[in-house]
Amino acid sequence: MSERLVVVGGDAAGMSAASNARRRRPDLEIVALERGRYTSYAACGIPYTVSGTIGSLDDLVARSPQEFRDRQRIDVRTGHEVLAVDPKDRSVTVRDLERGREYSLGYDELLIATGGSPLRPDVPGVDLPFVHGVQTLEDGKRLVEASAEGHVESVVVVGAGYIGLEMAEAFVLWGAEVTVVDRSSEVMEALDPELGAKVREAMVRRGIDVMLDTGVVGFEEGRVLLDGGASLPADLVVLGTGLAPASRLAVDAGIPTGHKGAIRVDHRQRTEVEGVWAAGDCADTFHRVLKRRVSLALGTVANRTGRVAGINIGGGYASFPGALGTAITRLCALEISLTGLTETRARAEGFEVDATTIEASTRADYYPDNSTMTVKLVAEVGTGRVLGGQILGGAGSAKRIDTIATAITASMTVEDLVHLDLAYAPPFSPVWDPIATAARTLL
Amino acid sequence: MSERLVVVGGDAAGMSAASNARRRRPDLEIVALERGRYTSYAACGIPYTVSGTIGSLDDLVARSPQEFRDRQRIDVRTGHEVLAVDPKDRSVTVRDLERGREYSLGYDELLIATGGSPLRPDVPGVDLPFVHGVQTLEDGKRLVEASAEGHVESVVVVGAGYIGLEMAEAFVLWGAEVTVVDRSSEVMEALDPELGAKVREAMVRRGIDVMLDTGVVGFEEGRVLLDGGASLPADLVVLGTGLAPASRLAVDAGIPTGHKGAIRVDHRQRTEVEGVWAAGDCADTFHRVLKRRVSLALGTVANRTGRVAGINIGGGYASFPGALGTAITRLCALEISLTGLTETRARAEGFEVDATTIEASTRADYYPDNSTMTVKLVAEVGTGRVLGGQILGGAGSAKRIDTIATAITASMTVEDLVHLDLAYAPPFSPVWDPIATAARTLL
């Protein structure tokens, strides 16, 4: 009898793993259990379907369950939720949501790829139907439908992180009045606050109201209740309050978890329990600068750790060397990216740092359609090692963060950055690339 | 009496050095001797002034002689040509071209930054007035004037390298019939031929005639004579036949030269003669992959080696760790870039290599304004070390070469590239960045 791999979760990490395992082991029986209706979708595309930039949610599905069945003989079961894992018995308890029946399924290898759970504020009214998450394609569908019904004039977004701000812009483009409410004192806490301020200014220019240092204490139909007794009218609420690793199954099964509750895995994506693997947002990840395992919820990491798990499960050898938390977005005509540690985070982690922020041109100064970009570099005192970078600017600026990410991966110093042989021609860059200019300034 | 630095050549390398030396030594007397009328100009912008993309040649001047005099007390003498260097006497012989007089000028430190000399084919008629180089701003001025006179209907470009092809496109945009003639069997020999073919196809689509395997044997007024007895009509000819290091002064003074006649310098830009430094296109450069000194004519290298020379002359310490020949351009709606070694060059240099070429999207597949990009990676057999990369594609593709340049600088392997934490969001990249996809394919 052939061995069986059971994958829990049919998105990026789970299906990357399933595909990679299949490629190496044609004999393996592979069952992928997905609670929702979709597999392998780009949740990060949801804001663009609301704004209308992307025509249809279906465009976000990279590969459908049927394609996995037909092309890779992967037994994808959508609408099947795993209720429990029994590592001793090597089995999972599954509920077929449509038929309402439960069954037990044995495994030889198990991959937990359950992703993240939206953090829902624990306040009255959070489960009212006008309060929406932005996690799954089902969430996206409900948002698109709710906005299509046409009663949506005012939208409140709770949470000023990436996804919250992307949804805020999407609803402004769609034609609503939008207010973003956040408990912190600046938007995008992933950035240093002086750069967050530039993002906020761009949002305000776009017509988005931003309320900071403001907590949400509850929801009533048509209203968001704020601390201090004030309230905001809202036809629709979007929760952009972040994700926690969806590790309940693992915890209940006695599989150890670590930072922020993420499942602890090693460099091959093995948990500490025999035969059980984990990958994606539910698992922890080695941070190349912090040199310890942290929870990082990023699609890129999910795809890559899923691939590593799949190669290993398939009998090959792959090891995941870690990540930097590199991220990028475009908000209100501003490109934004970061990698490694911000100055704030580096100091909080006990690093002594030097930092500099410069403004430069995306092209040669004299070249048309030139725009301004801001580069912030953070380096360790003494060693000069680059710890992080942040870029904000016009078209053609933010993807340059990859150069800094590559440099950090190679443990380069600020001096090394000055000497990088980066590409120059008038339509692409000043003769001193903005990253090299930032490095020269920091020296 | 204060010490005197004499700089020969007032463009990128010379003036970077002068500025950096001034910053460190307020006491130094600095004289910069420039044969032409301009200082610190972006010669690479000349094609854009012909096409009209940039309004005026004056825009290409980063800093004028008067600005250097006023702001940095640098005695810039334009129209002054250095005829000879006497390292024993520590003096140069200068001709004031306007006044027609010669004088001797002593130095304590001498920087030779004479750049490159256009390679003019040694054929009859090459000095006729309708045959133009594209090296200096004066060349650019003559080209703009010649085209403004309005008798230019047909243009022949000799040489299918960067500058030749950029000029060919500029004249097509300007409204001329353009033919590019080259002795080699494909355009852009800096690329591997299968990528060169894609560039040629883009040029042909733009309406440029390309004649390969064709030598030019002479020029007659209004005609370009080809080998085999054919000829082409031409109201104007552009020579894009490359540059040689302008090292005659050094050779005459007994200063040793190396690869392609470039002045031999060390990591601090010192020549082998006491008190004489060299930087920019006239000097050789350590190639980080070849691990030897070669001649590389690039504005980026000129600026950086000039800076290193200036810091050292100013009493500081700086060392130039080398370059990769990273280059980028945009031709006929195609972005083109390369770094390190092509497959052709790597094999010619005795490397055993694996290479792969992939096509990917610049954005998520479902995101609007997506375009295709081609990535070629070249790696050493055995070590897996990345030796070079080439990128061709639509908007947003070519500047990604910087990631490969940074990886090569850090001696990364193809496996390392797979694991780079590169930025992903739908408007910027597929979830697997095209560079990581190329690396996965090569593995």
pLDDT in tens, A385-406: 999 999 999 999 999 999 999 9
Q: Which residues of B touch A426 (CB under 8 A)?
A: 42, 44-45, 48, 54
**Minimal C-alpha gap between B321 and chain A (Å):** 7
B222 exposure class (CB count in 10 Å sphere: 0-12, 13-18, 19+) = middle
Residues of chain A with pLDDT under 50: none
Q: What is the predicted pLDDT for the residue at B55?
A: 79
Amino acid at B82: V
B406 interfacial to chain A (CB closer than 8 Å)? yes
Catalytic residue among A24, A37, A44, A77: A44
Provide CB contacts within 8 A for B155, sequence distance 6+: B168, B171, B176, B177, B178, B179, B234, B235, B236, B237, B238
For A383, the token pair is 């060693």
- For residue B42, name the pLDDT band (cuts at 50, 70, 90): confident
Q: Where do runs of H (alpha helix) occur along A270-336?
A: 299-313
Q: Is the pLDDT of residue B1 over 70?
A: no
Residues 53-82 of B with CB under 8 A from A: 53-54, 59-60
Q: What are the residues facing B151 on neighbouring strands?
A: none
A286 interfacial to chain B (CB closer than 8 Å)? no
Q: Which residues of B touch A288 (CB under 8 A)?
A: 421
Q: Which residues of A touch B422 (CB under 8 A)?
A: 300, 326, 402, 405-406
Alpha-carbon gap, residue B94 to A403, rounded angstroms: 45
Is the CA virtual torsion B42, B43, B47, B50 positive or negative? Answer: positive
Provide CB contacts within 8 A for B248, sequence distance 6+: none
A321 interfacial to chain B (CB closer than 8 Å)? yes
Q: What are the residues facing B337 on neighbouring strands?
A: B328, B391
User: Who among B327, B423, B427 is closest to A423 (CB)?
Assistant: B327
The helices-and-strands tally (H runs, E runs) of chain A is 12, 25
Q: Which of A424, A191, A392, A299 is nearest to B423 (CA)?
A: A299
Q: What is the predicted pLDDT for the residue at A45?
A: 82
Q: Give the torsion through C-alpha atoms of A200, A202, A203, A205, to 10 deg.
A: 120
* Strand pairing report for A154-158 and A236-239: parallel
How does pLDDT run across B99-145, given as a tens digit for each residue?
999 999 999 999 999 999 888 999 999 999 999 988 888 888 888 88
**Minimal C-alpha gap between B112 and chain A (Å):** 21
**Minimal C-alpha gap between A50 and chain B (Å):** 13
Q: Do A410 and B405 touch (CB under 8 A)?
A: no
Amino acid at B83: L
Q: Which residues of B touch A335 (CB under 8 A)?
A: 428
Q: Give the torsion through C-alpha atoms of B428, B434, B440, B443, to 10 deg.
A: -150
B52 interfacial to chain A (CB closer than 8 Å)? no
**Unique residue bearing structure tokens 């005192």:** A381
Residues 326-345 of A with CB under 8 A from B: 326-330, 335, 337, 339
B325 exposure class (CB count in 10 Å sphere: 0-12, 13-18, 19+) = buried
Provide CB contacts within 8 A for A60, sequence distance 6+: A41, A42, A43, A45, A46, A49, A54, A137, A140, B366
Indicate which of B402, B412, B435 best probes the interface with A, i.e. most A CBs within 10 Å of its own CB.
B402
Alpha-carbon gap, residue B93 to B235, rounded angstroms: 40
A200 exposure class (CB count in 10 Å sphere: 0-12, 13-18, 19+) = buried
User: Who among B45, B323, B367 is closest to A364 (CB)?
Assistant: B45
Q: Is the pLDDT of residue B52 over 90?
A: no
B15 interfacial to chain A (CB closer than 8 Å)? no
B300 interfacial to chain A (CB closer than 8 Å)? yes
Q: Do B354 and B442 form a contact (C-beta atoms < 8 A)?
A: yes
What does the DSSP 8-state code read for residue B371? -
Higher pLDDT, B207 or B366: B207
Q: Do B214 and B200 form a contact (C-beta atoms < 8 A)?
A: no
* Phi, psi for A74 (deg, rounded to 5): -105, 125
Q: Is the pLDDT of residue B208 over 90?
A: yes
Q: Which of A406, A112, A412, A109 is nearest to A253 (CA)?
A: A112
Q: Do A402 and B83 form a contact (C-beta atoms < 8 A)?
A: no
DSSP E strand stretches across B12-90: 29-34, 75-78, 80-86
Indicate which of A421, A431, A432, A433 best probes the interface with B, i.e. most B CBs within 10 Å of its own CB.
A421
Q: Which of A309, A185, A298 is nearest to A243 (CA)?
A: A298
Q: How many CB atoms lie within 10 A of CB A350?
A: 6
Q: Do B22 and B30 form a contact (C-beta atoms < 8 A)?
A: yes
Alpha-carbon gap, residue B305 to B283, rounded angstroms: 9
Alpha-carbon gap, residue A380 to A217, rounded angstroms: 41
Q: How many CB atoms lie within 10 A of CB A327?
A: 22
Q: What is the predicted pLDDT for the residue at B59?
A: 84
**R_g of chain B, CA atoms, integer Å:** 23
Q: Is the pLDDT of residue B150 over 80?
A: no
* Phi, psi for B240 (deg, rounded to 5): -115, 50
Using left for φ > 0, alpha for ψ between -120 and 50, and beta otherwise, residue B431 falls in alpha
Q: Do B422 and A402 touch (CB under 8 A)?
A: yes
Q: Do A132 and A143 form a contact (C-beta atoms < 8 A)?
A: yes
Which helix (H) or strand (E) segment holds residue B137: the answer is helix B137-148
Using left for φ > 0, alpha for ψ between -120 and 50, and beta otherwise, residue A36 falls in beta
A439 interfacial to chain B (CB closer than 8 Å)? no
User: Which string of b and e fits A42-68 if b means at least 16 CB within 10 Å?
Assistant: bbbbbbbbbbebbeebebbbbbbbeeb
Higher pLDDT, B43 or B88: B88
* B44 noted as active-site residue: yes
Q: Which residues of A touch B429 (CB under 8 A)?
A: 328, 399
Q: What is the predicted pLDDT for the residue at A1?
A: 65
Q: Do A426 and B42 touch (CB under 8 A)?
A: yes
Q: Give the torsion through C-alpha atoms of B410, B414, B415, B421, to 10 deg.
A: 60
Alpha-carbon gap, residue B367 to A334, rounded angstroms: 17
Each as own residue / partner, the long-range contacts of residues B200-205 (CB below 8 Å, 24 or more positions apart, any chain) are B202/B331, B202/B332, B202/B333, B202/B334, B203/B165, B203/B168, B203/B169, B203/B331, B203/B332, B205/B332
Q: Do B399 and B328 form a contact (C-beta atoms < 8 A)?
A: yes
How does pLDDT run across B268-277, given as a tens digit for each residue?
999 999 999 9
Indicate which of B361, B366, B369, B397 best probes the interface with A, i.e. most A CBs within 10 Å of its own CB.
B366
For A273, the token pair is 């329990």
Indicate which of A402, A437, A441 best probes the interface with B, i.e. most B CBs within 10 Å of its own CB.
A402
Alpha-carbon gap, residue A335 to A396, rounded angstroms: 8
Residues 193-232 of B with CB under 8 A from A: none
Alpha-carbon gap, residue A250 to A246, rounded angstroms: 9
Catalytic residue among B44, B62, B84, B211: B44
* C-alpha separations of B27 from B5, B16, B30, B164, B414 in Å: 11, 18, 9, 44, 50
CA triple A384-A387-A392, angle to 5 deg:
115
Alpha-carbon gap, residue A324 to B390, rounded angstroms: 26
Alpha-carbon gap, residue A379 to A343, rounded angstroms: 9
- For residue B63, name the pLDDT band (cuts at 50, 70, 90): confident
Q: Is the pLDDT of residue B331 over 90?
A: yes
Average pLDDT, whole number, for chain B?
94
Residues 134-163 of B with CB under 8 A from A: none
ipTM: 0.92
Is the CA virtual torsion B336, B337, B343, B349 positive or negative? Answer: positive
**Minimal C-alpha gap between B118 and chain A (Å):** 19
* C-alpha separations of A122 from A128, A205, B67 in Å: 13, 32, 64
